């Protein structure tokens, strides 16, 4: 049981170390680790792509091991991640967002005479549903507070 507990504790601390490396590598990809682009890219590349050797001191001996890299090629990740942040949740430009189709959402096919894909011709029923859904979101709560502060209570 002690053996399992010690290995679990070891795994936890190695996980913390790996998470810290990932955070630093992520900040390098955003060019936020240093003011120097060269330093950001060098550190990011090392953390993403190179092996880092670590030293573990056990009770009776010193063990060396290789901590595996993060496993993601740095420059391709940096470029695609920047594109993702530039268009987060955009239906056609975000690289990681795949919207559900109308049939997957069990919606009727788009009727071009009544609606368009940009929502400029939405029916009053659809507008009412959207405003109701907006009310449950953080943006809706913010707008409700702003309305309350701007106009006061409307009875």
pLDDT for 143: 83
The β-bridge relationship of strands 52-57 and 62-67 is antiparallel
Interval 67-84: pLDDT, tens: 445 667 888 889 888 888
pLDDT for 61: 46
- Is the pTM higher than 0.95? no
Q: Which two tokens stand for residue 74?
A: 């740095």
pLDDT for 63: 43
- In three-state secondary structure terms, 42 is helix
pLDDT (average), residues 129-142: 79
Interval 25-55: pLDDT, tens: 999 999 999 999 999 999 998 888 754 444 4
pLDDT (average), residues 89-98: 75
Instruction: Give, to the nearest 10 degrees, the angle between helix 74-86 and helix 37-49.
Output: 110
94: nearest Cα among 76, 73, 80: 80
Strand blocks (E) in the chain: 52-57, 62-67
Q: Residue 120: pLDDT above 60?
A: yes
């Amino acid at each position: 049981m002690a053996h399992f507990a010690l290995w679990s504790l070891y795994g936890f601390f190695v996980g913390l170390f790996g998470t810290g490396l990932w955070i630093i590598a992520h900040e390098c990809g955003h060019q936020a680790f240093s003011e120097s682009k060269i330093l950001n890219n060098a550190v990011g590349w090392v953390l993403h792509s190179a092996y880092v050797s670590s030293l573990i001191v056990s009770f009776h001996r010193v063990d060396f091991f290789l901590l595996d890299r993060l496993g993601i090629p740095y420059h391709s990740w940096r470029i695609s991640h920047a594109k993702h942040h530039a268009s987060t949740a955009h239906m056609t430009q975000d690289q990681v967002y795949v919207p559900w189709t109308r049939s997957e959402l069990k919606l009727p096919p788009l009727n071009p005479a009544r609606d368009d894909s940009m929502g400029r011709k939405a029916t009053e029923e659809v507008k009412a549903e959207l405003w109701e859904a907006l009310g449950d979101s953080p943006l809706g709560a913010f707008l409700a507070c702003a309305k309350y502060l701007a106009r006061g209570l409307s009875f």
